[in-house]
Structure 1
Amino acid sequence: GCPLDLICNKGAGAGLMQREKKLKQSLIGITNTLSCPITVKMRTGWDEKKPFAHELVSKIQSWGIGGVAAVMVHGRSRLQRYQKLANWEYISQVASSQSDDFPRIPIIGNGDVFSYSDYEEKIKVDGVNATAMLGRGALIKPWLPTEIKERRHWDISASERLDILKKFVNFGLEHWGSDQKGVNNTRRFLLEWLSFLHRYVPVGLLEVVPQQMNQRPPARMCGRSDLETLFLSKFSDDWVKISEMLLGPVPEGFKFEPKHKASSYSQA
């Protein structure tokens, strides 16, 4: 399902949808090697005007590969990447396209689940399994599973969010070590994560609850505390400041350029 050029140009990610023979070989090889069930993740197709996931799922169903436990369908095409809203009507079509001649494969939808109310709406879509896959929503709001479990919109405080980052940093230092190399690795992944985390707008600042995935906050917002305002910043230099609160000063001349450049603004 990955839409990145680097991956798709090698025939992997969403590009694998166009290589049925390779896909079948991969599924057979993986299921024959692993003792646990696997899931298949795909997009609607290459172009939103010509979706073909419903055809591909029917073929996977006909292949009868026993280890495939479910298919997860992201309701966008490869070329759409993350633009426009996910097409859950088409996900329903994918689920209903399966043949009665073969065992049905559970279809799990993915796309734009950003609150517990989004989740409850999506799992009622005809044909899909009674669950949904979380994607960017869980990157932007790592407490989203708690919201879903407790069925509430959590107005999480800035200090609680900082505690989550402290745990992340501790895990990073435990994994990579607390030497300079370990600190650098932990900082890099923290900064990449912050390029998503800043998109969250606290519940207490919203005029309409819940925030929608395609709603981006203004370029500058003021929070209810200095820390909350810092978390709202879209400027990568401010993300570096947050990292310094947890990992100490960066080397002189340090600059961070996020992998997802569209998610950030330059400081200049």
Structure 2
Amino acid sequence: MSEMAFTKPLLKGDRVERARLYKAPGEQMFGFQVACKTISDGIAASKLAKEGGAQFLDINCGCPIYEATRRGMGSAMLRKPRALAKMVAGIAADSELPVTVKIRLGENDKKIVVDTVVDYLHRAGAAAVTVHGRTAEQRYKKAADWAKVGEVARSTAMPIIGNGDILTHYEAHARRVESGCTAVMAGRGALIKPWIFQEYKEGREWLPTTDERVGVYRLLVSYMKEHFGDDERGRKKAWYFFPWHFDFLNRYRPLPEAVYGAASREHPLIMTRMDLTDARVGEAGPEGLGWAERLLRCEHPDAHEAIAAALWDAGSDADAVTALERIGREGVEAWEEAVRAGGRGGDAARGGGLGVGGPAGAEGEGREGGGRGGRGGRGSRNDDAELERG
């Protein structure tokens, strides 16, 4: 989130010349992120990305999930900075697109290699580097170290994109300014609030009503139907992804800067445990919420299945709201009780403490995987789910 100017490396002998690719004010840039460990795979991905309309290729060398690291990809590549740089140099030399790289601080607290890796990647011809302010071992259990991200940004001529714990436009702006990064990246925050980019672009918060959020979610439905098909086969394919999205979307809470701005500077909001409602924003407890709103905030996987089905089947936004009101009235209290009984409060590994249970301001304990049991094949693919989140 910024006005970016990427550089495309052109290798000539031992010298790297850089032809600039600019993002004009107000213009959107589309990039394609991949995980790979060989030059040939990276070049092949770059060609596909270009054919798909991408303007840059991003290589994810920061993902800490076993499903990636066991294949020698993601954050496993930080163990051998020279080999990583050699791969990036080979891809950048033959790629028609600028190549950017996403990394973490290192493998663990005893192996912080980010400065070395950034230096190598700069010399390898990377156009920019995204630095996630945690080690691979930390996953999402602790707040991102933006002080270290800032140190990296100020110590190199390489464009640095800061990443970690961005949920609101005011957090994004503060992190970019304070760190000195060229830009910032929102990951899990964008899954909770897909409109965070519009907020940042316009410099103002949007606190959507229940009906407005349903409209956003049904827009996602329309994209899925267009891509997978509006039939039973298309629905089956979409269901691998669609209910899962509500494991993030249910964490949305209105977070006006006037109320939460100061707290966000003390502890990232995405890592802060919050109750179902907050009197500071005019919410008078669960009973004061509409049934649809209460349902949309429910953490139970069965609620997510029901929400997804209602949105998919509805003929209009109004029909969807009506269906969600009915489902909430009939089932949300039982689902909420099941969540409380099962300890399904928010935690850091799930992307922060936003959720039911636990006092506001308390940091989540963190746990491995996504806890998505009871959803067919997806319940056993927690690493895959977190790979998508990272």
TM-score bucket of the superposed structures, by smaller chain: 0.7 to 0.9
Matched letter for residue 11 of structure 1: G
Within 5 A, what are the aligned runs for 1:148-227? 148-203=200-255, 208-209=259-260, 212-218=269-275, 222=286, 224-227=289-292
Matched letter for residue 300 of structure 2: F
Q: Match of 1:80?
A: 138
Q: Match of 1:5?
A: 66
- TM-score normalized by the length of structure 2: 0.59
Whether the 8 Å contact between 1:108 and 1:128 is mirrored in structure 2 is yes
Whether the 8 Å contact between 2:82 and 2:120 is mirrored in structure 1 is no
Note the C-alpha offset of 1:207: 10
Q: Match of 2:308?
A: 243
CA distance in 1 between counterparts of 2:160 and 2:375 reads 43
Within 5 A, what are the aligned runs for 1:21-100? 21-61=82-122, 64-66=123-125, 68-98=126-156
Note the C-alpha offset of 1:218: 3.4
Q: Return closer, same or farther for 1:219/1:156 CA change in 2, 3 Å cut-off.
A: closer
Whether the 8 Å contact between 2:163 and 2:186 is mirrored in structure 1 is yes
Whether the 8 Å contact between 1:54 and 1:93 is mirrored in structure 2 is no
CA distance in 1 between counterparts of 2:197 and 2:276 reads 28
CA distance in 1 between counterparts of 2:375 and 2:119 reads 48
Which segments of 5 or more consecutive residues in structure 1 lack a partner in the other structure? 99-103, 264-268
Whether the 8 Å contact between 1:96 and 1:127 is mirrored in structure 2 is yes
Note the C-alpha offset of 1:126: 4.2
DSSP-derived class of the 1:188 partner = coil
Which segments of 5 or more consecutive residues in structure 2 lack a partner in the other structure? 1-61, 278-284, 315-373, 386-390
Within 5 A, what are the aligned runs for 1:99-110? 104-110=157-163
Listed one character per residue, the Cα deviations across residues 24-51 of structure 1 (whole Å, up to 9, x for unaligned) are 2321232133212111100011113432
Matched letter for residue 117 of structure 1: Y
Note the C-alpha offset of 1:76: 0.6
CA distance in 2 between counterparts of 1:152 and 1:184 reads 38
CA distance in 2 between counterparts of 1:238 and 1:48 reads 39
Note the C-alpha offset of 1:248: 4.1
Instruction: Supply the RMSD in Å over aligned alpha carbons.
Output: 2.6
CA distance in 1 between counterparts of 2:172 and 2:68 reads 29
CA distance in 1 between counterparts of 2:211 and 2:240 reads 22
DSSP-derived class of the 1:114 partner = coil
DSSP-derived class of the 2:128 partner = strand
Q: Match of 1:116?
A: 169
Q: Return closer, same or farther for 1:227/1:136 CA change in 2, 3 Å cut-off.
A: same
Listed one character per residue, the Cα deviations across residues 156-175 of structure 1 (whole Å, up to 9, x for unaligned) are 11111111111111111111
Note the C-alpha offset of 1:19: 2.4
Structure (1/2) with the larger strand percentage: 2
DSSP-derived class of the 1:45 partner = coil
Q: Return closer, same or farther for 1:226/1:166 CA change in 2, 3 Å cut-off.
A: same
Choose which of 196, 212, 221 in structure 2 pairs with 1:144: 196
Q: Match of 1:266?
A: none
- TM-score normalized by the length of structure 1: 0.83
Choose which of 58, 79, 89 in structure 2 pairs with 1:18: 79
Note the C-alpha offset of 1:127: 3.9
Matched letter for residue 125 of structure 1: E
Whether the 8 Å contact between 1:173 and 1:182 is mirrored in structure 2 is yes
Note the C-alpha offset of 1:6: 1.4
Q: Return closer, same or farther for 1:237/1:200 CA change in 2, 3 Å cut-off.
A: same
